Chain A
Amino acid sequence: MAVNETTGTAGPDDGGSDDGGAPELLPCGRDAATVWDRAEAGVPPDEHERDCPYCTATAADAMRLDAVVHRMAAAPVEPPPAVLERAMDKVRGALARDLREHELLTLASPLGPVRLSRAAAATVLRDAVDRMGDVRARSCQVEQNEQIDAGTTVAMTVSALYGVDMRAVAARVRRMVIAAGTQALGLPVGAVDVTVVDVFGEGDA
């Protein structure tokens, strides 16, 4: 079973919103981006949002990402030795790898070239989606357009919790990827393709 949610690539001629996509409607008819932005700005939920499972989930997504991207500022952490050692193993591996040009994305900087490992970008986006709870990221491809301003195109396959509305999942994943790209990576995302490739039950590992 596959549900495909594809958004058009934002071209410079579109003159659309800054994230470059058409409004992403939740099954209740609300735009996921609007619900997200209101929650992020601390606007209390209106009557509809309080009772709507789609809007509630979308607002919770916004809060989860916010907690992740601001957690370093909030809590200076001294990780336990085991965690630190595991992290340093990853660090040594990452630094030893020879990164080739095609494995790198370009980030906008006024001060000189900045590149980001494509695999690292995908890891961050997948991690953000995994935190949503009722969806798990599978594959994630990040492609950069020749014009950096047009934003990157992200193609993600996900597994959704059995019983959740897949249209809502697709809309929320799209919103999460765009927000995580901006807030965690500093990488504008112009288009997101979400494909639900599988479902999982509450008890599945």
Chain B
Amino acid sequence: MTGPTDPAVRLHVEAPAVASVAAHRARLVPGVVALRPGGVGATVQGGAAEVALTLVTRLGHNCRDLAVAVQREVTNEIADVTGLAAVVTVTIADVLTD
């Protein structure tokens, strides 16, 4: 049973954990060929996170649509797993054409 008198459970999620969640989820988005290894940036302040992802895709996936899909999926995943509201910046470093 929970109530207002129970001691609050304080969850603090560190940036590397947020970065791991982001990288894991982003890799599952169709069209993401690779992410910058170990270079997924994340900062956490209060209840908010900022995430920066650099990725490579291939021709056949609309770059903007892919980036928006990554932002949506990663933001949702971070909210589900950590409770943090995240702003996700996506940089597409290259598009493979062959």
Measured CB to CB, the residues of A under 8 A from B are: 68-73, 83, 86-88, 90-91, 94-95, 97, 99, 104, 107-117, 119-121, 123-124, 127, 183-187
Contact = CB atoms under 8 A, between A and B. Distances in A.
B93 A68 contact: no
Interface of B: 30-31, 33-37, 39, 54, 56, 58-65, 67-68, 71-72, 75, 87-98
B56 A95 contact: yes
Interface of B is mostly: mixed
Given A107-B67, A109-B71, A115 B58 contact: no
8 contacts: A69-B60, A70-B60, A72-B61, A97-B93, A112-B71, A120-B93, A123-B97, A124-B95
Contact of A99 (B72, B93, B95): B93
A108 B96 CA distance: 21
A91 B62 contact: no
Interface of A is mostly: helix
B91 A104 contact: yes
